[in-house]
Amino acid sequence: MKNIVLLTHGEFSKGIAQSCRFILGEVQNLKALSITMDESIAQTKQKLNDAIASFENDWPTILITDLPGGSTTQAAIGIMAEHPEIYLVSGLNLGLLVSLVMLELTDDREENLRQIRTALAEARDTIILVNDQQAEPVSISDDGEL
């Protein structure tokens, strides 16, 4: 079991959580948090702490942010010392989120890290330039047929 918290700029977290549920059905223990331009790092850290506390369990928590160098990630780094059960991942995309949601984390931190690293590697491999995958351009007819 695990908890997942998404923290993104604007409403991205809510939209990608909805897309994940569209693909997988209901997803338990998934929270989508957004920040605005008016929020400070301190406010964002409080929002994260509140979200983590709201799970009311001691399961591992995967915290996923959108930009590795962004304020979302900086806020998340700022609460990691208080929450040793957190695994912080940055660079959110739908393929990555689906992979992380499907993981079965345990009390074994090293095994959890291995699983998360594998999911990250697999997600990286799904980011492609489709033009490079095809020998000839493909056209799609007006009725959606290839």
Tokens of residue 44, six digits: 């964002």
For the stretch 5-46, pLDDT in tens is: 999 999 999 999 999 999 999 999 999 999 999 999 999 999
pTM for this model (two decimals)? 0.88
Tokens of residue 78, six digits: 């700022």
Tokens of residue 120, six digits: 């990250």
Distance of CA 75 to the CA centre of its chain: 15
Model pLDDT, residue 140: 74
Tell me the average pLDDT across 83-98: 96
Structural domains of the chain, with CATH: 3-133 (3.40.50.510)
CA distances from 96 to 20, 32, 79, 93, 102 (A): 10, 15, 23, 5, 10
